[in-house]
Amino acid sequence: MGQFGIGQPVRRKEDVHFVTGQGCYNDDVNLEGQAQVQFLRSPHAHAEIVSIDTSEAEKAPGVIAIFTGKEAEADDFPVLYCLANIKARSGKPMFSPGRTALCTDRVRFVGDLVAMVVAETIDQAKDAIELIEVEYNELPSNTDTATAASPDTPQIWPDAENNTVAFYENDDPAKVDAIFEKAYKVAKVDVVNPRVMGSPMEPRSALSTYDEEKDLVTLHKPSQGVHRTWGNIVKHLPKLDKENIRIVSHHTGGGFGLRTKSYPESTLMIWAAKRLKRPLKWRGDRYETMVCDTHGRDHITHGEVALDEQGKIMAARIYVTASVGAYPFENGPAVPTFSSGRVTGQVYVIPAIHHTVRTVMTNNSPTCSYRGAGRPEAAYIMERLMEEIANVMDITPAEARRRNFITPDMIPYINNQGFEIDSGHFEETMDMAIDLHDWNGFEARKKESEAQGKMRGIGIGYFIEASGGQPEEEARVKIDEDGKVTLYVGTYSQGQGHATVFPQIIADKLGVDYDSIDVIDGGDTHGEVPFGRGSGGSRSSMMGGTATARSCDEVIVKGKKIAAHNLQTSPNKIEFEEGVFKAVDSGGTMTILEVAKIANDKSKIPDDIEPGLNERYHYDRGNVPTSYNHPNGCHIAEVEIDPATGVIEVVKYTAVDDNGVVLNPMIVHGQIHGGVVQGLGQALFERTTYDPENGQIITGSFLDYAMPKAKHVPDLVAANNENAPCPVNELGVKGAGEGGCCGAPPAIVNATLNALKPLGITHVDMPLDSEKIWRLIQNAKSAAAAE
């Protein structure tokens, strides 16, 4: 293994580069002669476009061009279509209207694109925007998910009955209904997963240029992997030869799922650069990022479970209404259906589930994948139900889970959704968390809080995911004559630590010096990495890691042939260990660096192999349910509430995760910490709010959209249970990036309700802002006084 091998807490080698200001983000890139782009966006949530007059704006200083939907339409500009395809159980297809990059007849959310202005400077473009006169006929709007499918709610698309995109249903309800009729008790909850914003550090931006001689358009944009982004963009630009579109990503300041998308602005920048034959730059501001980037969550869920006399679950009903915003965008409808549905029921034995999801349209920004992408919502409803089971059965929360866990002898376990869970010691992981958190010491800590006038509560959040993302990845390992090792891999880092962890795999497999290894990832479709699916869905360790490991295996295979040729033996008599090839018959040896040094000398290698140690491996795990990995974990939160103000403080937090084999515990713990903080933000602070009367966004800046600060984050204790490695990849790894977003919300909400339980408060929806908690406390006290 060595100091820098698999499992070692190696410090991130890329950090010095960033903290010393040497990063190169999209806005750092400029081209000679570039013009500036600004977009006119709809001020209305829902309105017909009666007319657009650009005549005065076109005369403004510095204006080069102004494009509206009519110009784009006349130029046969493509329409963006949803990439998901969610069919009803009846076979009814999903409603999937095309989205014009620039609106022609109607706008459907505040921020919808109306016009594109190109000018010499940003200020000139902004001034010209102000001169465009648009006549709107404002229409009734709806930004409320709960009422979107009501018959009296305004129709966003005339052909979408009750604003419904698709009604997903896993099975006939009759079987489950029959079980509920025989239930000893029923536990039920209604919960809200509020709409949240990704809020990456770097606002969205783009720089496009056209090389007329090569007929090549290059788009520089932040992404989570350029090949995936390119694949989506070229589907929307059929008139352009896809090989003549190049996507480049430099460093990306935050992904979280938002940067996997091919937004309308990207296609417009490609189209306009070729049309104008001039470099174009667009720098989005924070408002545009918050209003127009895809949002996450926005689910209304009813859940109930039928219980037998022992408190074991006999059946469950999970009914979800999920907003996809004004347009079904990319994979938006797949998030609450496929992504969430496969792990509905989580780590519990549930013989029968009736699960429905109504995806509806509202006059909001589209929703799509956001850290966890459906799995946090599935964990949240089940963990709230587990607390309710404890209440109705009068048992502890831990015991409610213990009675219902999938046990190791049941694995591989096919859940009621037909999805295979192939590994996990769930009760063991919970017990580790309970011990590490000192659950038994809670009562003493509670008394200390009460002595200070505070209310204290403790709560559990268990989760399981289905990670792995896109099913193909590629890597190439090259060892030069001078001993330099380079990995070319199709994943793409936005802070995950690939430049540290992947070299650990190579150092472990090949026995080469860790510091001699460089990583080049998928940041240029026309660069040295010809294929890749980027980073998303916690796929990098499994997909990029496995591709890297197998590339190393190919290097070893080839190295054995070269070593055998020079040691005058056959390859099957060569062993390789810790960087040394050894002939078992003669005892002769060659290091891997000695092999690399002669690998390009045709006189010293077999005639039937190509020169060099430069081996590629294309990893295709197969896109079937059994190909995913299943990170899971038990998170425990402890909160204090000041009843005088309603302020909640998370005072103690423990996370025990099963991430399979941990490649680098320091980086995995960092991933867990980051996810927990995002989950804490959703639980306590974050909510995207719109004016119900006119659909105007109220939380369009950080003055109004509350994010967690450092003072809100407790010391986080993180540990790993490595007793259940993933069986479907040879590294044994599972995802690590999204668990915190799954475990933190239910743990914090359950802890809060545990603290409020003496007042008879049994329900509260996220976010748990201080005013909401204060009013609940005051109302409970008033009700008690009136009795």
Query: 658, 672, 641, 647: which is closest to 726 by C-alpha?
Result: 658
Let me know: does 681 contact 705? Beta carbons within 8 Å: no
Matching residue, tokens 């239930």: 183
Report yes or no on whether pTM surpasses 0.85.
yes
In the chain the domains, ranked by start, together with CATH numbers, are: 15-20+469-620 (3.30.365.10), 32-139+205-283 (3.90.1170.50), 295-468+626-786 (3.30.365.10)
Q: What is the pLDDT of residue 1?
A: 54
Q: What tens digit of pLDDT does each residue of 284-301 get? A: 999 999 999 999 999 999
Q: What is the pLDDT of residue 54?
A: 97
Let me know: does 525 contact 244? Beta carbons within 8 Å: no
Q: What tens digit of pLDDT does each residue of 459-508 get? A: 999 999 999 999 999 999 999 999 999 999 999 998 899 999 999 999 99
Strand duo 245-248 + 216-220: pairing: parallel
Residues sharing a CB contact under 8 Å with residue 297, sequence separation 6 or more, in sequence order: 193, 194, 195, 196, 367, 370, 376, 377, 682
Whether 714 shows a pLDDT value over 90: the answer reads: yes
Compute the average pLDDT of residues 438-462: 98
Q: What is the pLDDT of residue 71?
A: 84
Separation between Cα atoms, residue 703 and residue 690, nearest integer Å:
15
Matching residue, tokens 């990495």: 529
Compute the average pLDDT of residues 657-673: 96
Let me know: does 26 contact 207? Beta carbons within 8 Å: yes
Separation between Cα atoms, residue 315 and residue 311, nearest integer Å:
12
Q: What tens digit of pLDDT does each residue of 317-372 get? A: 999 999 999 999 999 999 999 999 999 999 999 999 999 999 999 999 999 999 99
Q: What is the sign, positive or negative, of the torsion defined by CA atoms of 65, 69, 73, 78? A: positive
Element (H, E) at 274: helix 264-276
197 CA to centre of own chain: 12
Which pair of tokens denotes residue 612? 């060099």
Full DSSP string of 572-610: GGEEEETTEEEETTT--EEEHHHHHHHTT-GGGS-TTS-
Q: What is the pLDDT of residue 608?
A: 93
Let me know: does 47 contact 136? Beta carbons within 8 Å: yes
Torsion angle of the four alpha carbons 26, 30, 36, 42, in this order, in degrees rounded to the nearest 10: 0
Whether 679 shows a pLDDT value over 90: the answer reads: yes
Which is higher by pLDDT, 457 or 74?
Answer: 457
Strands (DSSP E) along 199-253, which ranges?
205-211, 216-220, 245-248
| Tally of helices (H runs) and strands (E runs) in the chain | 19, 30
Full DSSP string of 672-734: HHHHHHHHHHHHHT----B-TTT--BS--STTTS----GGGPPPEEEEE--SS--TTSTT-B-
Q: What tens digit of pLDDT does each residue of 190-215 get? A: 999 999 998 898 999 999 999 999 99
Separation between Cα atoms, residue 412 and residue 434, nearest integer Å:
26
Let me know: does 227 contact 488? Beta carbons within 8 Å: no
Query: 462, 416, 780: which is closest to 636 by C-alpha?
Result: 462
Compute the average pLDDT of residues 19-41: 95
Element (H, E) at 137: strand 133-138
Q: What is the pLDDT of residue 759?
A: 97
| Of 80-94, 345-359, 587-601, the least confident | 80-94
Q: What is the pLDDT of residue 92?
A: 87
Separation between Cα atoms, residue 118 and residue 33, nearest integer Å:
13
Q: Read off the pLDDT band of 540 (50, 70, 90).
A: very high
**Burial code of 31-55, b = ≥16 C-beta within 10 A, e = fewer?**
eeebbbbbbbbbbbbbbebeebebe
Phi and psi dihedrals of 350, rounded to 5?
-130, 105
Task: Give strand pairing partners of 690.
Answer: 697
Q: What is the pLDDT of residue 762?
A: 95
Separation between Cα atoms, residue 546 and residue 618, nearest integer Å:
10
Whether 233 shows a pLDDT value over 90: the answer reads: no
Residues sharing a CB contact under 8 Å with residue 554, sequence separation 6 or more, in sequence order: 477, 615, 616, 617
Let me know: does 461 contact 376? Beta carbons within 8 Å: no
Q: Read off the pLDDT band of 751 (50, 70, 90).
A: very high
Whether 650 shows a pLDDT value over 80: the answer reads: yes
Separation between Cα atoms, residue 4 and residue 10, nearest integer Å:
6
